[in-house]
Amino acid sequence: MFDFPDGKRYNTFAGHYKRVYGERLQKLVIDAGFGCPNRDGTVGSGGCTYCDNAAFHPGYSTAGKSLFAQIDEGIEFHRKRYPKVRHYLAYFQAYSNTYGPLGKLKSLYEEALSHPAIVGLVIGTRPDCVDDGKLDYLASLASTSLDKFSKAGDLPFDNPVIRIEYGIESCYDFTLKRINRGHDFDCARRAVEMTASRGLHVGAHFILGLPGETREMLLEQCPVISSLPLNSVKFHQLQIVKGTRMEKEYSDNPGEFLRFGLDDYLDLMTDILERLRPDLCIERIAGEVPPRFVSETPWGLIRNDGILKLMDKHLEERDTFQGRLYDRPSV
């Protein structure tokens, strides 16, 4: 029926890492001071209508603070929760982390890799912020020996983990235009294919509940997502962040938004997981925004680990699993 890590009914990313590397690799969020072409006028201005970047990264991650300081503080932040973790990934998260000249990227990425505890990078970016030169460099970095970065101790792998994570958000062009995303879905598809063709790990992020989208549309995205050469995927429910343009849009036209109670959302996620190809790693099924950034917390203050336990229970109660309804393309 299914053979997922840790006896789960879906392909958890944490379980995948344990299978591949024999241990948990904890991400440490980095703000390296990158900008965004959708804010500085290159692609657009004002950014995506839902975005306030401060709502999506922890306090230890602050632009202007050195990378080593952010990493050290991040390790302390996670040590109590994950005391057995030995190795970490530097997660370049804030804004668009390939938006800059190649020389700048090399300097920042290799500085992070030179930290003794860092064994890889997760690079969050936009599909319109990569090109052949940047991807060729990242592919070469992924095949570089960790010895170059003076790593000590018994490592479970020889080369750094390099993962590229694209914000795609929706497969529908009219949605991407409405949220002022600044690129279309074909741009996202091309970026994913270019990255995967170099043997790099590719992840993607999608938001569930964007204005104008229905539950049926969210399910109809599943075969499109499965068709992309992705290794992993994140899903977040839309959260209306204070001060964003989307907050005003929601206030003016609440009927345009699909809002979820927790049970409704777990049911939707179950329907989505059933339709996704089973080898696709699921890194997240929901997002967290600190309560001070939102006007309402309809799910209360439940944390992601609590939601994951409820997800396990929901799948078991429905006696279903990831890929159960996946329609594998004929060759």
Residue 87, pLDDT > 70, answer yes
Least Cα distance to 198 among 126, 282, 132, 279 occurs for: 132
Asked if 111 contacts 67 with a C-beta cutoff of 8 angstroms, the reply is yes
Give the model's confidence band at 19: pLDDT under 50 very low, under 70 low, under 90 confident, else very high: confident
Strand (E) or helix (H) holding 273: helix 262-275
Which 3 state secondary structure label does DSSP give 179?
Answer: coil
CA distance 103 to 83: 36
Cα separation, 295 vs 306, whole angstroms: 22
Domain ranges of the chain: 5-317
d(CA 99, CA 89): 20
pLDDT at 329: 67
The mean per-residue pLDDT over the stretch 46-54 comes to 84
Inter-axis angle of helices 262-275 and 304-317, nearest 10: 60
Residue 139 has pLDDT above 70, yes or no: yes
Phi and psi angles of residue 161, each rounded to the nearest 5 degrees, phi first: -75, 125
The tens digit of pLDDT for each residue in 278-325 reads: 999 999 999 888 888 888 878 878 888 899 999 999 999 999 999 999
Instruction: Please report, rounded to a whole number, the percentage of residues in the chain having pLDDT higher than 70.
Output: 95
Residue 63 clears pLDDT 80, i.e. is over it = no
Predicted confidence (pLDDT) at residue 58 exceeds the cutoff of 90: no
Q: Name the residue with tokens 């592919």.
A: 139
pLDDT value, residue 331: 44
**Mean pLDDT calculated for residue range 72-85:** 90
pLDDT of 150 strictly over 90: no
Average pLDDT over residues 31-57: 86
Task: Tokens 């804010």: give the residue.
Answer: 39
More confident residue, 57 or 165: 165
Q: What is the pTM of this model?
A: 0.94
d(C-alpha 244, C-alpha 52), whole Å: 7
Query: Does domain 5-317 bear CATH number 3.30.160?
Result: no
User: Which among 4-13, 33-42, 199-208 has the top mean pLDDT?
Assistant: 199-208
> pLDDT, tens digit, for every residue of 205-246?
999 999 999 999 999 999 999 999 999 999 999 999 999 999
Backbone angles phi, psi at 75, to 5 degrees: -60, -45
Q: Which amino acid is present at 224?
A: V
pLDDT score, position 316: 96
Q: Which residues contact 331 (CB under 8 A, 6 or more apart)?
A: none
With contact defined as beta carbons under 8 Å apart, do 320 and 270 qualify? yes
Q: What is the mean pLDDT of residues 261-272?
A: 97
Indicate if the pLDDT at residue 9 is higher than 50.
yes
> Residue holding tokens 């907050």?
247
Q: What is the DSSP string of 102-117?
A: HHHHHHHHHHHHTSTT
CA distance 271 to 232: 18
Angle at 93 between CA 90 and CA 96, to 5 degrees: 125
Rounded distance, CA 113 to CA 30, Å?
A: 12
DSSP states of 192-258: HHHHHTTT-EEEEEEEES-TT--HHHHHHTHHHHHHS--SEEEEEE---BTTSHHHHHHHH-GGGS-
Q: What's the mean pLDDT in 154-161? A: 83
Share of the chain above pLDDT 90, in %: 73
Q: For position 46, what pLDDT does the model report?
A: 87
Distance CA 109, CA 315 (A): 39
